[in-house]
Structure 1
Amino acid sequence: MAEVRGTTWWSEELASLMENPIPETVSTTSFQARKSEEVVNESEETLKDHAVGFLMAWCEILMELGRGCRDILQQNFLNEDSYVVTKLRGPCSKVSKRLRFLNDFLPEDRDPLHAWSIVLTVFLLALAAISVDPNHETLAKEMKVRMHPPIASRILLPDGRYMAYHDQGVPAGRARFSLVAPHSFLSSRLAGIPGVKAPLLEEYGVRLVTYDLPGFGESDPHPNRNFNSSAMDMLHLVNAVNVTDKFWVLCHSSGCIHAWASLRYIPERIAGAAMLAPMVNPYELHMTKDEMKRTWEKWLPRRKYMYSLAYRFPKLLSFFYRKSFLPEKHDRVDKLFSLSLGKKDEILIEEPAFEEFWQRDLEESIRQGNMQPFIEEAVLQVSKWDFDIEELHVHKKCRTRGLLLWLKSMYGQADCELAGYLGRIHIWQGLDDRVVPPSMMEYIERVLPEAIIHKLPNEGHFSYFFFCDECHRQIFSTLFGTPQGPMERREQTAFEENTADALQVPVSNKE
């Protein structure tokens, strides 16, 4: 009865509060079910709110932890008196000074720290994308590298190294003129005069001797290469292959740095120099600002970057050279060197003869698989040279040291003699050359006014020297004049006559 009265009382009270009374058919069971659903919904919303609050609390804790770690680092490691700052302050300042030149490439209104952080981030992302992408393929034509058996003739140098060389043209005993040619970067003794015909060498009586620089081709590396050692290697070579008279030195592009060294250190053995698009130091201090500007503006950004690495951070070159020179396949010459070529050069490098020559010469150049000689060659190009090209300029040099010589120069004429290189220097320069720009030739013309400059309109870096029969004939005609053919072999030299006379004396006594 109590339950019925309780239920009736609750229904009556609820009906009194509402306009429409609740039917008495509503049971306590249905109400309890609705109440249980509301409780469940409230419990679900509370769990979600708790989860969100938990995560937010953890984030706040982590942020506070990070701030605390930052404060600890700043107070204990990054203040001026900390061990880390004391040890790293000097090296970091040196690195920042060496990298300060990079700020010249930024717009004036950009903060260097902010700009270079963005550049570095983009560079790392691009490098990661290229490395991860399995379908990455180069669009340029690639050539597979082959290794060939050793075939070179070699001589033993005084320091125990072997030098490989290649002999072409007229034999030593009949040569009217001897040409010695050091090769350029990423090349070998096989370069010489690309495409020169044997009948032309015979017609002018020319013997052409080319050789591998230390560490290239089949020549042994040199532990301490410099310009003087380069000239001495050339001198030992000509003596070993029986070049007894003065010889001509022939060079192209960066190979001319070794020709410059020979003119400086062994001028008494050289009859003259024939240089095609000769390379000089792009950081040469004696170049004017205009000459320097017109030199660098012809080069692509990647080539400028490689020169900057060779000049400031040469050890980093190993990474780039190993990826460029030593893989199983190679790009075209302009892609490999990041060259901007003129119209004639673009046509030339598409010809099968050039592609075959370039591929074989490259394969011979890298046969040892060692990047150190290439790094040494790049550093020789851009570092301060052991001499100035101006020293080759012909000038009077008077001896006035010492009291007696000084008094003699005051009251009379001092003992003077001509200094510099006294032979002929011929330079051929293509005016459409974008590899060794004409501004370098203009610098040479300014400091060596006695050099004979042959300016070639519409010619590029390769077009006048590679596989051009008429060009080769013009070069030989300029150097040697009218062709006279090889020299006739003499039946008996003066040395042989003296030897025969000496041998006849005991014979006559014996009779």
Structure 2
Amino acid sequence: MADSAAKRPPTPAPASGGGGMAWKLSLALFVFLAALLYKQLQPPAPKIAGSPGAPPVTASRTKLKDGRHLAYLESGVPKEEAKYKIIFVHGFDSCRYDVLQVSPELAQELGIYLLSFDRPGYGESDPDPAASEKSITLDIEELADNLQLGSKFHLIGFSMGGEIMWSCLKYIPHRLSGVAILGPVGNYWWSGLPSNVSWDAWYQQLPRDQWAVWVSHHLPWLTYWWNTQKLFPASSVIAYNPALLSEEDAKLMEKFGMRTYMTMIRQQGEYYCLHRDMMVGFGKWGWSPLNLKDPFAGGEGKVHLWHGAEDRIVPVILSRYISEGLPWVVYHELPKSGHLFPVVQEMADAIVKSLLLGEQ
């Protein structure tokens, strides 16, 4: 018996102290917190319009080659009778209904067909998981082809939609008859912008917006969390902070801010419209509008850039500098206007006349 006991494997001695258990608890806590943080950083799945449990489809829509749908709205004269075909690209936190309010009389007089659409992720247009400053221009081109607008058309873009106009001038200039850029958002990291210009524009933002824009550029994966957490103020543009409104904008906001369809704008999820807009608009572009060449060097069209001098949402200084660097851009600065100047019907008519007829 003694020999048998001697050959038996020794029983491990109990660990002295609680160091091993404490290490395991620390690891478990770290994994739990990491998982919790990861979950908070991830946006919920989009509520794609028309899918089970999601908002219904009420708009006319067209299907793109990659399977996504774009919702659109037609106004003005029928396209078969139109002399001019214009595609309008809406701004941040907007949709197809926020189309430029051209008067019916002017549309009839000039023969204007106006097409607006929900940009990807807004309203009833499917989100684009691969959204970039180029992808939206190809969506616009395909939309025009699906609706048979012909080989060329005019473009008007407002705010974030105005920034998209630069991309259209780069990627689809051969499809354009003329472009109007209204109060365009600018990217503070575009190459060719002198540091004094970009910094001057940067500091015209509220501090909370400086942070929100900085995150969307440098840490885009953090954009959703940054704009939904409650620890500190996020984007004041998303929050409709009245501090951003000029005197004229404050009056116009009574109309613009009370749109009956506002809940429809973000219905698929804020990440897939607002946050993705910020990530693309303020993202790392591989080119700059300042490097663009005149797409209408032969005189067959014009690019018009409009900006309100009292704009507190999008600093006017970037538009001033870009227009100086691109002499082929016709620049219109409105001394008493803020960001919402295109909402005024008289202003909308003036913009369209300038674009189509060359009126100043």
Q: TM-score, normalised by structure 2?
A: 0.77
Preserved contact between residue 303 and residue 339 of structure 1 (Cα < 8 Å): no
Preserved contact between residue 394 and residue 421 of structure 1 (Cα < 8 Å): no
Paired with 2:217 and 2:185, the residues of 1 have a C-alpha distance of: 16
Match for residue 469 of structure 1? 345
Match for residue 181 of structure 1? 88
Listed one character per residue, the Cα deviations across residues 313-366 of structure 1 (whole Å, up to 9, x for unaligned) are: 222221344469xxxxxx9968435752211112221x3x33322x52x32221
Cα displacement (A) at 1:276: 1.0
Gaps of 5+ in 1: 1-71, 78-146, 325-330, 396-417, 484-511
Preserved contact between residue 188 and residue 212 of structure 1 (Cα < 8 Å): yes
Match of 1:210, SS state, is strand
Paired with 2:320 and 2:338, the residues of 1 have a C-alpha distance of: 16
Paired with 1:422 and 1:380, the residues of 2 have a C-alpha distance of: 31
Paired with 2:243 and 2:190, the residues of 1 have a C-alpha distance of: 21
Preserved contact between residue 164 and residue 219 of structure 1 (Cα < 8 Å): yes
Match of 1:155, SS state, is strand
Corresponding residue to 1:435 among 313, 319, 333: 313
Instruction: Select the structure that is richer in helix.
Output: 1
Please tell me whether residue 346 in structure 1 is matched to residue 250 in structure 2: yes
Preserved contact between residue 273 and residue 424 of structure 1 (Cα < 8 Å): yes
Gaps of 5+ in 2: 1-18, 24-53
Q: TM-score, normalised by structure 1?
A: 0.55
Paired with 2:264 and 2:239, the residues of 1 have a C-alpha distance of: 19
Match for residue 331 of structure 2? 453
Paired with 2:76 and 2:239, the residues of 1 have a C-alpha distance of: 33
Match for residue 49 of structure 1? none
Match for residue 388 of structure 1? 288
Preserved contact between residue 227 and residue 386 of structure 1 (Cα < 8 Å): no
Please tell me whether residue 192 in structure 1 is matched to residue 69 in structure 2: no
Match of 2:342, SS state, is coil
Paired with 1:356 and 1:455, the residues of 2 have a C-alpha distance of: 27
Paired with 2:208 and 2:298, the residues of 1 have a C-alpha distance of: 37
Give the letter aligned to residue 356 of structure 2: F
Paired with 2:269 and 2:78, the residues of 1 have a C-alpha distance of: 33
Please tell me whether residue 166 in structure 1 is matched to residue 73 in structure 2: yes
Listed one character per residue, the Cα deviations across residues 181-212 of structure 1 (whole Å, up to 9, x for unaligned) are: 1221211111111x443333222211111111
Corresponding residue to 2:357 among 481, 484, 501: 481
Corresponding residue to 1:155 among 46, 62, 69: 62
Aligned residues with identical type, % of pairs: 29
Preserved contact between residue 393 and residue 420 of structure 1 (Cα < 8 Å): no
Paired with 1:212 and 1:271, the residues of 2 have a C-alpha distance of: 22
Paired with 2:200 and 2:128, the residues of 1 have a C-alpha distance of: 35
Q: 1:339 to 1:288 in 2, by over 3 A?
A: farther
Paired with 1:339 and 1:356, the residues of 2 have a C-alpha distance of: 18
Match for residue 178 of structure 2? 272
Q: 1:420 to 1:341 in 2, by over 3 A?
A: farther
Q: 1:202 to 1:457 in 2, by over 3 A?
A: same
Please tell me whether residue 306 in structure 1 is matched to residue 183 in structure 2: no
Listed one character per residue, the Cα deviations across residues 211-247 of structure 1 (whole Å, up to 9, x for unaligned) are: 1122211111222112222111111100111201411
Give the letter aligned to residue 275 of structure 2: I
Preserved contact between residue 393 and residue 421 of structure 1 (Cα < 8 Å): no
Cα displacement (A) at 1:447: 2.3
Q: 1:384 to 1:432 in 2, by over 3 A?
A: same
Paired with 1:390 and 1:232, the residues of 2 have a C-alpha distance of: 21
Paired with 1:293 and 1:430, the residues of 2 have a C-alpha distance of: 19
Preserved contact between residue 168 and residue 207 of structure 1 (Cα < 8 Å): yes
Paired with 1:269 and 1:482, the residues of 2 have a C-alpha distance of: 19
Corresponding residue to 1:375 among 251, 275, 279: 275
Preserved contact between residue 321 and residue 371 of structure 1 (Cα < 8 Å): no
Preserved contact between residue 299 and residue 339 of structure 1 (Cα < 8 Å): no
Listed one character per residue, the Cα deviations across residues 383-435 of structure 1 (whole Å, up to 9, x for unaligned) are: 2214321332239xxxxxxxxxxxxxxxxxxxxxx989974110111111121
Tell me how many residue pairs correspond in the alignment. 305
Paired with 2:274 and 2:55, the residues of 1 have a C-alpha distance of: 20
Give the letter aligned to residue 167 of structure 1: E
Paired with 2:265 and 2:338, the residues of 1 have a C-alpha distance of: 23
Give the letter aligned to residue 342 of structure 2: F
Preserved contact between residue 179 and residue 208 of structure 1 (Cα < 8 Å): yes
Q: Greater relative contact order: 1 or 2 (C-alpha under 8 angstroms, separation 6 or more)?
A: 2
Match of 2:240, SS state, is helix
Preserved contact between residue 303 and residue 337 of structure 1 (Cα < 8 Å): no
Aligned residue runs from structure 1 range 74-473, under 5 A: 149-193=56-100, 195-322=101-228, 335-336=239-240, 340-349=244-253, 351=254, 353-357=255-259, 360=261, 362-369=262-269, 371-394=271-294, 423-462=301-340, 464-466=341-343, 468-473=344-349
Q: 1:299 to 1:225 in 2, by over 3 A?
A: same
Coordinate RMSD, CA, aligned: 3.0
Cα displacement (A) at 1:266: 1.0
Preserved contact between residue 72 and residue 118 of structure 2 (Cα < 8 Å): yes
Give the letter aligned to residue 478 of structure 1: S
Q: 1:449 to 1:225 in 2, by over 3 A?
A: same
Paired with 1:382 and 1:342, the residues of 2 have a C-alpha distance of: 23
Give the letter aligned to residue 352 of structure 2: F
Cα displacement (A) at 1:286: 1.5
Preserved contact between residue 103 and residue 349 of structure 2 (Cα < 8 Å): no
Cα displacement (A) at 1:370: 5.1
Query: After the TM superposition, which parts of structure 1 deviate over 4 Å for at least 4 consecutive aligned residues?
Result: 331-335, 418-422
Cα displacement (A) at 1:264: 0.8
Preserved contact between residue 189 and residue 212 of structure 1 (Cα < 8 Å): yes
Give the letter aligned to residue 197 of structure 2: E
